[in-house]
Structure 1
Amino acid sequence: MKRLSRAICITLVSATALAAALPAAAQSVPNAPTGPVETQYYANGAYATTQTRSTVACDSKGNQCDVFYPTNIASLNTRLPLVLWANGTGSTADNYPNWLKHLASWGFIVVATRDQQTGYGNTVLDSLAYMQAQDTNPASPFYQRIDFAHVGAAGHSQGASGAANAMFHSVGVIKTTVTFELPNQNWCNPADNCLLTPTLTGGSGSIFYVSGTADSLIAPDTQSGGTQLNSQTAWYNATPSTMLKAKGLLKGANHNDITGTPGCGLLGFLKACANGVYGYLGYPTAWLAWQLKGDAVAGAAFKSGTGEFFTANAWQGRVSNIP
């Protein structure tokens, strides 16, 4: 996505102007949760977390992997679901520490290749193969600790494409995907570095499209013209009805809020994001808890038109086909 970095800079300028217009109180704890499911998963889970990095390459490009997991994994008497994380352009797990640790605190093992060009999804699948090998290695902390019947993927920007591509090319191993700020197809150069329409329309699994109302350039909700999938709404509508799917936009969030730590620091003289990761903690975690851990109460929050998600103060542009 050669054009994406220039677009991100424009988005950052817009975010700075927005932040300057907000009162101090609104900036302190933005996008606070309102309903019980969002509130539950907005908070950290019960587990202290550990981060480790592979000592060898974990993907076909020679990158290492970062793994986030519950610290007491060795003493747990159960296998844990696995989430594959795909970085945005030019990013690594270092850019998403709060989000990835948050998932681990809820009992997920999270693996993230350090590939900075993940759009094709191949290195995301490589990270899955790496964890499969770890599960069979008696010397690994992940030996017989991973539940490969419950694998999901998530990613940001180009990585949102990578996470979705990984799911659709995993032959059913990856069950669900959460895409943060999935770019319009017109940003993709080459085209197959994004999610291609035939790949989506022929796919299976489940998907939650997440963006922000201030991401009007790269991942807007409204179609920007042409026949390509150039909006979150277009992505959602093109997703087969046979797949469980949902879409929502976090109010005031821009392209980089998922990188909050948890708020937004400075990128040079610009603010790195608009509100921070806060609002992204609740429902995306709830979606993964439903799809990978069987939390039916979390799943009910996404029920079309009537679930808690549809009355949440921090969200708009919501739609789902969840019965």
Structure 2
Amino acid sequence: MKSPLHRKKIWNYIFIALLLIGSGFLNSAYAQNQSRTVEDGGTGTYKALMLSEKTLPTHTVFRPENLNVFGNENKLPVITWGNGACNNSPWEHVNFLSEVASHGFLVIAIGPMPKEGEQARDKSEPSMLIDALDWAIAQNSDNESSYHNKIDIENIAVSGMSCGGLQALEVAPDERIATVGVFNSGILPNPDNGMEGMPSLSKEQLEKLHSPTLYMLGGESDIAYNNGMDDFKRINHVPVFVANMDVGHGGTYAEPHGGEFAKVATAWYLWQLKGDKEAGKMFTGSPSGLSESPHWTVQKKNIE
């Protein structure tokens, strides 16, 4: 017969085990479900959510909250995003990225999900854009994933702002990428003059582009203006569109719903990744729809 002291020890062990199991369960659930709505979830058809996925804690996901409406006839194209200053956090761009996602896109930004008011400035690597792409493709084929058969892996964009735009250009030769977005960015004439951690690209990198490319710049006061416009002049083998709005290097990302930059970028993604010809009218025609806006000056090549 076991002594009362022995029984007490057994119950202590059981209690500790239950605490550990419970703690692990709660931590797992938190990692899976950590999320919040940015602003009002965006102006698109699908209210968006910003979240941290436990299978990709190194990135932040922006996507429609309700995934049940997506499937074989309505899939989520993928947009991977590199941040300004190559920061390992999308804290500067959450309004912009949430707005884009609300139009039916799976947006995956480099860096863990930022907390309210957080301004993380750790650095990231261009390879993290490919990590995001690989994750999305794997999730689409995983029977256990909530994204199973809901992702359009044939329509993937790589994009980024400032240093993140150079990250996008570095990985743009990947054949899986259907379009490229380079925002407030452009390759420096002398790569050695860039900031620490910035991809050291030469202008020859532009020859490796194989898909339609959008440049969005902040006008002549944008520190990246000359670099971006020089890129545009050099690109002659793929469709390329450059849009300038006189707002400087910071763009309109932090404005409600990402401001004008989000409107133009979303139209480009709708056109390039979803075949939305109505959205494409912003870029097609002579003159293009965007050229009639008082906010923008534009140029294009290889786009009818």
TM-score interval, normalised by the smaller of the two chains: 0.7 to 0.9
Identity of aligned residues (%): 23
Q: Does 1:176 align with 2:172?
A: no
Q: Specify every segment of 5 or more residues in structure 1 that has no aligned partner in the other structure, as ranges.
A: 1-42, 222-230, 264-276
Deviation at 1:191, TM superposition (A): 9.5
**TM score, norm. by length of structure 1:** 0.70
Distance between the aligned counterparts of 2:96 and 2:299, measured in 1? 22
Q: Does 1:150 align with 2:116?
A: no
**Aligned match for 2:248, one of 243, 248, 254:** 254
Q: Does 1:197 align with 2:194?
A: no
Structure 2 counterparts to residues 291-310 of structure 1, below 5 A: 291-303=272-284, 305-310=286-291
Q: Does 1:64 align with 2:53?
A: no
Larger Rg: 2
Q: Counterpart of 1:103?
A: 100
Are 2:290 and 2:298, in contact at CA under 8 Å, matched by a contact in 1? no
Structure 2 counterparts to residues 109-188 of structure 1, below 5 A: 109-114=106-111, 117-118=123-124, 121-168=126-173, 170=174, 172-185=175-188, 186=190, 187-188=193-194
Deviation at 1:44, TM superposition (A): 1.8
1:134-188 Cα shifts (integer Å, max 9, x gaps)? 22333322122111111112111010111122222x1x21111111111451442
**Aligned match for 2:264, one of 255, 263, 283:** 283
Distance between the aligned counterparts of 2:186 and 2:169, measured in 1? 12
Q: Does 1:318 align with 2:272?
A: no
Are 1:182 and 1:232, in contact at CA under 8 Å, matched by a contact in 2? yes
Q: Counterpart of 1:15?
A: none
Greater RCO, 1 or 2 (C-alpha within 8 Å, sep 6+): 1
Are 1:88 and 1:157, in contact at CA under 8 Å, matched by a contact in 2? yes
Closer, same or farther in 2 for the Cα pair 1:117/1:166, shift >3 Å? farther
Closer, same or farther in 2 for the Cα pair 1:191/1:145, shift >3 Å? same
Are 2:243 and 2:299, in contact at CA under 8 Å, matched by a contact in 1? yes
Provide the aligned length of Structure 1 versus Structure 2: 248
The letter for the 2-side match of 1:161 is L
Distance between the aligned counterparts of 1:70 and 1:108, measured in 2? 7
**Aligned match for 2:230, one of 200, 214, 234:** 234
Distance between the aligned counterparts of 2:107 and 2:123, measured in 1? 18
Q: Give 3-state SS (helix, strand or coil) of 2:256's partner.
A: coil
Are 2:139 and 2:145, in contact at CA under 8 Å, matched by a contact in 1? yes
Deviation at 1:317, TM superposition (A): 4.7
Greater than 6 Å deviation, 4+ residue runs: none
Q: Counterpart of 1:51?
A: 50
Q: Counterpart of 1:3?
A: none
Deviation at 1:52, TM superposition (A): 1.4
1:223-264 Cα shifts (integer Å, max 9, x gaps)? xxxxxxxx322100111x22110001112x12123431429x
1:108-150 Cα shifts (integer Å, max 9, x gaps)? 01011218545x6311011111222222333322122111111
Q: Counterpart of 1:6?
A: none
The letter for the 2-side match of 1:310 is S
Q: Does 1:82 align with 2:82?
A: no
RMSD over aligned CA atoms reads 2.4
Q: Specify every segment of 5 or more residues in structure 2 that has no aligned partner in the other structure, as ranges.
A: 1-41, 113-121
1:251-279 Cα shifts (integer Å, max 9, x gaps)? 2x12123431429xxxxxxxxxxxxx311
**TM score, norm. by length of structure 2:** 0.74
